[in-house]
Structure 1
């Protein structure tokens, strides 16, 4: 059954800012922990937060994630769940279009009644992980996180995405970046995809007669570096081999991973 997501009316910006600020509080505390000698009694949640402790408590299905994954401890997972619940508390109910039925159906009918949408995801990456990138790349990062392809990040998707960001090994990060750059998910990165990714990243000068020519030249240069078997397209094996030789090629088509410094700071907070 094919589904697609209608664009939601958007976040209530004031509430969204307040909740995102609460995530920033986690980060600010960590950045200044040594200087200020923060004690275990430090309160992190905003005073106006109305979520109850019952709502913050991890359901059993979430704790099952801890048993399946050794990336985070139980206490760390519970902290991530609290952050997740804070973030989605400002989301409006999402709707999906079920093409097979020709009608609009509630996410509830697919057993998904809450999640992080694209707008909130962008704010999360901007404000918490200092990851600022152009629209096409941001949408691709969301799609790779959203493995269920429903247009919302469930806690499971949110958790797995953070595992990759914060504790992923080199091979996992290579596969992630490749998936992001593979715009049509066919297993190859071709010149057209490279062009689409790069044209919005480069600074264009008004005096340039044809600014796209510079992008095309760059595409040719990068293709020569990545296309190991010289078949005119970049496979995952090509990409892995190239990145192993030169790690700078990992994010050749745009930044899609946060800096280690930011990740270390976030890990310290949980």
Structure 2
């Protein structure tokens, strides 16, 4: 299943037929000029043709070459109209906004998307850790993880079958911490997070799948 962000981009892609020189020309016409296609291809696991297609869709939706948080929230509202995607979109936006300047550049978008779609398990987990680490201090607290999980349940949990209980996010977080917080200091480090997840614990990986399904 394609992720929401890819569906959003490809739904806006112009008909195929533009050649490489056309796309190179397009790269110089927006207010924020992305890196060249060759450089982006080296930074990601996308082909040049895939980058051209992604860029056409990105430019059609965002002519300035930037996505602000309000636009990002609107994207998620389209895909989860029966839930409230606002908070989750806020957290996800901050994870994509690599330099923290309040806007997602095309480079930020495709680098993150490359990891989520084609990265190794290790790369995906590091990206997920960054999402959960809301204040970017290098640790995940129960409060941070609960905030993320509640935002996911608000966006889709009430419309799943079987219906999820109100206390499900808190129980989910408790299970995470029992397994991840090895030294019982109340926080999870990147090392603890990676070690636990890479042991392929079924409950943990099932939870991670829930996260991947709403990207």
Task: Tell me which interval the TM-score lies in, with the shorter structure as reference length.
Answer: 0.5 to 0.7
Structure 2 residue matching 1:189: 3-state secondary structure: strand
Is residue 222 from structure 1 mapped to residue 193 from structure 2 by the alignment?
no
Query: Greater helix percent: which structure?
Result: 2
1:53-72 maps to which residues of 2 (within 5 A)? 57-59=26-28, 61-66=35-40, 68-69=42-43, 71-72=45-46
User: Which residue does 2:197 correspond to in 1?
Assistant: 243
Q: By how many angstroms is 1:62 displaced?
A: 2.2
Candidates 12, 15, 39, aligned match of 1:44: 15
User: Which residue does 1:176 correspond to in 2?
Assistant: 127
- Aligned mates of 1:22, 1:64 — CA distance in 2: 20
1:1-270 maps to which residues of 2 (within 5 A)? 23-24=10-11, 44=15, 57-59=26-28, 61-66=35-40, 68-69=42-43, 71-89=45-63, 114-124=65-75, 134-200=85-151, 201=153, 216-245=170-199, 246=201, 248-250=203-205, 252=207, 255-258=210-213
Scaled by the length of structure 1, the TM-score of the pair is 0.56
- Aligned mates of 1:140, 1:196 — CA distance in 2: 9
Contact 2:44-2:111 within 8 A present in 1 as well: no
Contact 2:9-2:54 within 8 A present in 1 as well: no
- Higher RCO (CA-CA < 8 Å; seq separation 6+): 1
Deviations 1:79-118 (Å, cap 9, x if unpaired)?
11111111103xxxxxxxxxxxxxxxxxxxxxxx640122
- Aligned mates of 2:44, 2:176 — CA distance in 1: 37
Unaligned runs of 5+ in 1: 1-19, 27-42, 46-52, 90-112, 205-210, 264-270
Max radius of gyration: which structure? 1
Q: By how many angstroms is 1:257 displaced?
A: 2.3
- Aligned mates of 2:108, 2:76 — CA distance in 1: 15
Scaled by the length of structure 2, the TM-score of the pair is 0.68
Unaligned runs of 5+ in 2: 1-6, 17-21, 29-33, 159-164
Most deviating of 194-203 and 136-145 = 194-203
Structure 2 residue matching 1:153: 3-state secondary structure: strand
Structure 2 residue matching 1:257: 3-state secondary structure: helix
